Amino acid sequence: MTGTLSLVDRFQELANSQKDLIADAEREVTVWKNAHRNCDSEIAALKQEIAALKRGKNTSQTDGSNPLLLCLIDGDGCIFNENLLMLGAEGGRDAAFRLRQHIITHYGSNQDLLVHIFFNREGLGKTLKSFLGIQPGTFSAFITGFNTASPLMSMLDVGAGKEAADAKIREQMRIFVRFPHVKKIYFGGGHDNGYTNNLAAIHNEGFLDKVVSCSLTPACGRD
């Protein structure tokens, strides 16, 4: 009899152990199911974010949101009109106004216009004094007048480096020409051939139609 009870007890013990194993397995299955649901939720949320980003990107590329016109001028090669330079601050403000009007008229609508004119202030000042008789004070006043005409229009002194202006214009053109919201880049390089390779690269990438020469605007060169 004792042997029979031992077998029953053993069987009961095994049965209880089996129940515990099954319960543990069921709990583990529940944990994995919850984890799977959480993972599915995270994936769905990420898909929604990606879709929203794609919609935003497509919208910015198609609706022209925040369109920008960029004007890059080599101030050493594309010199402002002599008559404007002689007027000092008034001439600087007038030059900024004329340049903006010329570009906006060409583009066909009134958009934000960012203008960067890179030049060697000391070197150009000496040239203007020697050949046109424009005094340094008058030239300085012209620069101030231009720079205060609009927050987005600046004459920037890059120093005496031979290709200082070229390098800045090339890099800004290379970067900005790829931006969808930059609709046109108005480029005034004077008679310098240092931009040939840069323009060739832009042509090869299919962006040359965004670049417009502005070497002889009413504010630069001649009227």
Q: Which of 35, 63, 91 is the last residue of a domain?
A: 63
Q: Do 113 and 201 fall within a single domain?
A: yes
Domain assignment present for residue 218? The answer is no
Domain assignment present for residue 222? The answer is no
Q: What's the CATH code of the domain at 112?
A: 3.40.50
Domain assignment present for residue 143? The answer is yes
Q: Do 89 and 198 fall within a single domain?
A: yes
Q: Do 27 and 79 fall within a single domain?
A: no
CA distance 59 to 48: 16
CA distance 73 to 70: 10
Q: Are 114 and 152 spatial neighbours (Cβ–Cβ below 8 Å)?
A: yes
Residue 55, C-beta contacts closer than 8 angstroms, at least 6 positions apart: none
Domain assignment present for residue 160? The answer is yes
Q: Residue 155 belongs to what domain range?
A: 68-213
Residue 180, C-beta contacts closer than 8 angstroms, at least 6 positions apart: 60, 61
Q: Which of 62-66, 121-125, 133-137, 154-158 has the lowest mean pLDDT?
A: 62-66
Q: Do 54 and 126 fall within a single domain?
A: no
pTM as predicted:
0.68
Torsion over CA of 75, 76, 81 and 85, rounded to 10 degrees? 90
Q: Do 40 and 77 fall within a single domain?
A: no
Torsion over CA of 121, 124, 130 and 134, rounded to 10 degrees? -70
- What are 95-128's pLDDT values in tens digits? 999 999 999 999 998 899 999 999 999 999 999 9
Q: Do 77 and 177 fall within a single domain?
A: yes
Q: Do 79 and 110 fall within a single domain?
A: yes
Q: How many domains does the chain have?
A: 2
